[in-house]
Structures are given as C-alpha cells and as structure tokens.
Structure 1
Amino acid sequence: MPKNHPVSRRSLLRALGAGAAGTVLAGCGVPAAYVEPGDRAGRDSSGTDRTLHFANWPLYIDTDDEDTSKRPTLDAFTERTGISVTYTEEINDNDEFFGKISPALMNRQQTGRDLIVISDWMAARFVRLGWVQEMDRAKQPNVTKYLDPQLCSPAFDTGRLHSVPWQSGITGIAYNRKRLGREIRSTHDLWADDLRGRVTLLSGLDEAFALLMQGDGVDITRWTADDFHTMCEHIEKRVRSKHIRRFTGNDYIKDLSTGDVLACQAYSGDVIQLQADNPDIEFVVPEEGAELWAESLMIPNLARHKRNAERLVDHYYDPEIAAELATWVNYVCPVPAARDVLASSKDEETAALAEDPLIFPDDAMRERLAIARDITAEERTELTKKWNTIVGL
C-alpha cells in the first residue's frame, strides 16, 4: 500500500545547513585535494566481513507500518545475501555532509561509510576531486539492465561510472488551480498580473536556476554565464516590482496549502503528497521544459566493504525492490521496469501509482525534461554571490 507522508525528505531538509555553504566549500577546487585513481581503493573486507555502512537522508527509505525501525527492502537484502547493513540517517544537507567527511577524503583517510547518497550537483564535486570509486558494473547486472536511459550519462559522470541514482525527481511549478481559476502551462504564466505577490521561488541556487533558465528558452544542458546573468536580470526585475512574494526552502508547502501563495517552484515528490490532502494542487512541467535531477549512491574512497556496497546498489535496481521503494518515497523511480510491477498489483491504490507521470514520466513529459549542466568550481563563487544577493541571503 502506498503511504501519504505529510512531509517529504527533500523539502523538509532543503533549508537546513544553509549557513555552512560559504565555509565548507572554499577548498573544493584546491588541487591538493584531488586524489589520483590509483589511490582511491582500499583493502576490501567484503569477503570476510559481511557488513556495510549506508549513510542516507531521513525519510528516504521504506519503513514497516508496525515498526518504523524496520526497513523491509533492506531486510530483504540481508535475508538474501547474509550482509547486514548499518543504516544511518545522517545526511541533512549536501554542504553540511561535505564538511563532515571532506577532511578524511582530502587526507586519504577512511570515512567510515561504504555508501552515501548526495545530490548530483554535489556528486559532481566528489567526482571532480576523485573522492569516489568506480563501481564494477559487471557485478551489477540489474543496474546495467534497468537504469533509466535518461539518467545514464550525466555530464559530471559520463557513463555513470561513479554514481547510480537512488531516486530522481522534477523541479517544476505547483499551483492551486481552484484558487487561481485557470491553468498554468508555461513558466511565463508565473508573471501574469493576477499572480503579483502570490508567487515564490526556491532560494537555493542549484535548485532554482535551471527551471528559470528554461523559462527563458535556454538549453540547460549547455547553458552559459551570459544565460545565467540574463535570467538573474529578469528575476531581479520581478523582485523589485514585488511580483515574487519571497524565496523559500521547504516552507513553500505551507504557503501553497494555506493559499498565501497560488503558484511556486516545487518538487514533484512534494506535490504527490500535497495532492493526497488537496486535489486542487497541480504540478506542471512547463512547455519550455523542467529540470530532471537525481540524488545518487556513491562509494567513497577507501571504503572497507566496496563489494558489499555494490551488491546493495544492485539490489535496489531489482524492479520488485524498486517498486516497493517507489510506493513509499513517491519520487521519480529510476527503474522504469518497476512500473509493470506496480501495475500488476491487486491493490488499487498501489496499481494507480504506475499511471502517475510524476513517478513514471510518460514520453510526452520526458521530451520536456533535461538534466542541467553542473555549475563548475570556477563559476560557483561568482554565480552564488549574484544569486544570493537577489534572494537576500
């Protein structure tokens, strides 16, 4: 049975750790931090030590209805393989977690973690710095067979050698159709006169910029600094005119629910949950396009149980397991074959998830989705300063 979770993991934690961003990233591009390929692998104890340490975000895995300390899909892995998993919900913010484990990685030391989940824009930094190991796809037949083709080769990790999506999602537009009294189909629709003071945008640079550029007709797979500054000019103008009410973290959910805001930038997984309580809330992939993002599994350098971690990653790409996880988290499932598993369910509510385009995007929606080019280390300082000035951070 799918569950309606009142608060999603992504939205709940989006605003946390914001103060860390300016301090922990200062050394991201320092050449001395780079680890050569030959120095990344440690002694793998998987053959004799049948354990692994998996660090993830809160609220990002299935739990048992009667005992929330139990996680059925993890338990199934242990039963099948004999490998026990120490699962910690310790990642509250990408920058904060970077600050926690970067000293060990920079100094060629173990992190104590065999598998981590971070957003792809942060994963790009780990790949650039040489802080994560390539996975052995020969030992991951499910990943090879079932990974969503649209997520197979992001710009930061060609061929997905160092990362595998845990879950995916869409940054688009949410709005209250009943209160607004009309449809929103385009990003340009946000700037209509009847929405003045009733629109919010996301405050995080990495979360906000791609959709706004797409609204300007930019191909976000190869955007330029000029594209970014043009977008910023348009947003600044709407801030000065008070068309944009404010910039938000997770609190856009409350604003939209109460009616204080009629339209906003939003994440697809949040809207699925909002719709359970308010069917008037709709999610739009604008005509100009929307951003497809992922949060990915990665194996840090010197991990002591690399082979065990690779097996766990492949476990979650079994369509049956992926389907079970999808019913709980409600984000875009990176295993399209899980759709058929859900569709065959005898439970009507579960089977309905197979038809939800926010979990399994249809072809028409996929044509309007794109993965944004990452902000490079060289660009980040200037662009972050510009964006934060607009947002008021």
Structure 2
Amino acid sequence: MDRLSRRALLRGVGTAGFLAAVAGCGVPPAYVRPGERKAPDRSAADDSLTFANWPLYIDVDDHDKQRRPTLDAFERRTGISVTYTEEINDNDEFFGKISPALMNHQTTGRDLIVISDWMCSRFVRLGWVQEMDRSRQPNVAKHLDPLLLKPAFDPGRKHCVPWQSGITGIAYNRRKLGREIKHTGDLWAADLKGRVTLLAGMDEAFALLMQGEGVDITRWTADDFHRMTDRVAALVRAQHIRRFTGNDYIKDLSSGDVLAAQAYSGDVIQLKADNPDIEFVVPEEGAELWSESLMIPDLAAHKRNAERLVDYYYEPAVAAELATWVNYVCPVPAARDVLASAKDKETAALAEDPLIFPDDGMRGRLAIARDISAEERPELAKEWNGIVGL
C-alpha cells in the first residue's frame, strides 16, 4: 500500500523567515492574545465540522475508497457531519495557506487540523490555536500515552492531541550489511562509507543525531547543535554520507544502493512487509518520539464538535481500528489489548509490533525533543541547510 511521509522538509529558514519578513512590511504583529481566539460556537445549532488532514492518514474501506469506517461511525453515532479534506501535504506549505487568516484574526474555515508537533509549537507560540476543554474529553484524559503528555512547547497537551505518533530511528539491510546496528555511531563505520543517508529536514534529523552524541534532547543547547553539525559536515566532506533525503530513502534501501538510513518507523513497517531483511532500530543512546497532532484553530466555528471528534479517536477500540490501517505508533496504549483479542491473526499480530506499540525497553529510550525556538531557527537553519545543500 502506498504511503506518504507526513514528515515534511524544512525549506530555507521556513516560517521563521516568513514571519520576520511580514513584520518588516507593515503587517500587524502575528501573535493573537487569548481573549481574541474564540468565536461563537455554532456546534449546538449546526451538527457539522471541517477536518483537514494529510493524505492516506485515516482508515478507508477496502471496497470503497471514499468511505472511512471510523469517521462514518462517528457521524452515525453523533449526527455530526464531517467534511474531511486531505489538503495537508507539507507543514510549511499549509502554514503559508492558512497563516494570512490567522494573523489577521480571520477564520480559516477549518475546525480541526493535523500538523507535525514542531509546527504545532509555532502555532502555540503565536496564539493561533485554542485550548481544548479536557472536561469534555474523558478518553483523552484517560488514554493518552504518558510519553506524549508533556512536550516542551505545550505542557499537558492543552492545545493539541496526537493523531498518530512515530519514531525517527535507523533502518538498515541486515543481510547485506552482515552485522547489527545498535548505536547511531555504527553508521559512521568504514564499511558504510557512501552507503548511508540522513534526512534533509532539520526538524526531522537533528534530534537522533544529537542523541548519538549523548545529548539529552529534552534540553539541548545551541552548543550541542553546533557539535552535531560539525560531525555531520566532516562526514559529508569525507563522502561518508551518500546524500540527504526526504521519503525517498525508501527506494534507496529497497534497491540496495543504501545499506542504512535515518528513517521513520511507520515507513519501515511497509518496507519490512516487502523485504524482511530490512530492520528498524532505536539506538541504545535513544531516538526521537514525535507526533502529528490535532489542533483547533482560532475562531473555529464548531469547537465543541471538534472536541468530540478528538475524544472519539481516543476510545481504545477506535484507536485500534485506525492503527491497523496507518501503522504508526498508536498514541493510545490501551488499543493494544483490543488488537490482541482480535480473531484475525494478522490483526492480533499488530499488538506485538514494537513499531506500533513500543515495548518497555524501547519506550525507555524514546524522548520528545525540545523544539527549536523562533529566535534560534534562522541561525540553525542556515547552518544545517549549508551542510545539506538546501
């Protein structure tokens, strides 16, 4: 089944540069104060909501690709009609699409969106999203994975709730390499010269590489970043790193042109189905746990309906049904028991897949990276992109 990576490349200085530019062009300050974020909620009188997501990121019916079983079930149960759009193909692109409305205190026309947490952090800082009412979301309060509860940019997950999660680790062809990879530093061994790829996007790449240097990514510093880039730059000069990639590392691994790659856990599940020699490893030093999260933008017209939909997807049975299709790390650990009890053997086997439900050993090596602040981003992006060649 074809999949699209939800981890987008950072282009240039990205949105930080965009915000700096508009600030110098007579555009009003982008920050929205708390009292200006809500609109009159029409949920009670209008049983509808608009939900913007990424392509191929929800379950579909095997016989009718226009049907989405979990979403259809929500509509039948609640009477709420959901307009579901697959319009998010890149975090920066979507930011550019809706930011003019948000910074000018206008509605985006969307009640619920899904974006990567590093982009969520910017929305939170800018005041472009509303707090969710957890008193109306008992499933989120009960079932959200504790590992995902306290990102630095949004302690307690007041403004966002993970849709799906994943791990940035290392994928490699164990048979062709002829040995195991257990540490990030194993990528720099002589037998991998010219056969390694790293991710091109700074937000996607930096955390794992820092962890390989022994850095606690929950509190990394600029000095940690510079030491990491010094090492990467030296490896580029030595032609050890074959290239920097987006999601196309999948093709490189499949063809055998590359033996090891910085990779996303959800992609490797699909790779392993086609090639059992491909392994995914969370290095001993650790790997980054990331999410793409649900958020309610400012002035959303159906906030209560959106909160109901978010809470619905945190019912373990619903989360389990979604997990069987998307194959990313499920943010609802209780869904594991639902899958384990399935009569279908393939479905039950998913409960034992550590790339969907990480085991205790793996969980102990996962961490959510401190996000890159708006002040840090221009300098760090310039440094990183100079190495990558963006």
Provide the rounded CA distance (Å) in 1 between the counterparts of 2:332 and 2:21. 32
1:104 to 101, 104, 113: 101
Q: Distance in 1 between matches of 2:46 and 2:187?
A: 55
Count of aligned positions: 386
What secondary structure sits across from 2:215 in the alignment? coil
Taking structure 1 as the reference length, the TM-score comes to 0.96
Match of 1:121 in 2: 118
CA contact (8 A) 2:12 2:382 kept: no
Q: Which amino acid aligns with 1:208?
A: A
Counterpart of 2:286 in structure 1 is: 289
Alignment of 1:205-224 (within 5 A): 205-224=202-221
2:179 is equivalent to residue 182 of structure 1: yes
- SS of 1:26's equivalent in the other structure is helix
Q: Which amino acid aligns with 1:203?
A: A
1:203 aligns with 2:200: yes
Unaligned runs of 5+ in 2: none
Query: Could you say what secondary structure the match of 1:32 adopts?
Result: coil
Match of 2:334 in 1: 337
Deviation of 1:153 (Å): 1.3
Is contact 2:32–2:128 with CA below 8 Å preserved after alignment? yes
Does the CA contact (< 8 Å) of 1:187 and 1:215 recur in 2? yes
> Contact 1:343/1:354 (CA < 8 Å) preserved in 2?
yes
Kept after mapping to 2: 8 A contact 1:8/1:269: no
Which residue does the alignment assign to 1:350? 347
| Offset from partner CA, 1:7-60 (integer Å, 9 cap, x none) | 34426xx35x84793687334995811111111000100001000000000010
Amino-acid identity (%): 76
Residue 21 (structure 1) aligns with: 14
Q: Which of 122, 146, 151 lines up with 1:149 in the alignment?
A: 146
Query: 2:6 aligns to what?
Result: 10
User: Does the CA contact (< 8 Å) of 2:16 and 2:374 recur in 1?
Assistant: no
User: Judging changes above 3 Å, is the alpha-carbon distance between structure 1 residues 141 and 23 closer, same or farther for their aligned structure 2 residues?
Assistant: closer
Q: Residues 28 and 356 (structure 1 numbering): CA distance in 2 closer, same or farther, change over 3 Å?
A: farther
Q: Distance in 2 between matches of 1:182 and 1:125?
A: 41
Residue aligning to 1:79:
76
Aligned pair partner of 2:33 in 32, 36, 45: 36
Partner of 1:364: 361
Residues 88-138 of structure 1 show CA distances to partners (whole Å, capped at 9, x for unaligned) of 000110001100000100010000000000000000000000000000000
1:291–1:106 distance in 2 versus 1, CA, 3 Å: same
Asked whether 1:320 is paired with 2:332, we answer no
Q: Secondary structure at the match of 1:360?
A: coil
Task: Return the TM-score normalized by structure 2.
Answer: 0.97
Partners of 1:70 and 1:211 lie apart in 2 by: 37
- SS in structure 2 at match of 1:25: helix
Distance in structure 2 (CA, Å) of the matches to 1:358 and 1:55: 26
Q: Is 2:300 the counterpart of 1:307?
A: no
Partner of 1:238: 235
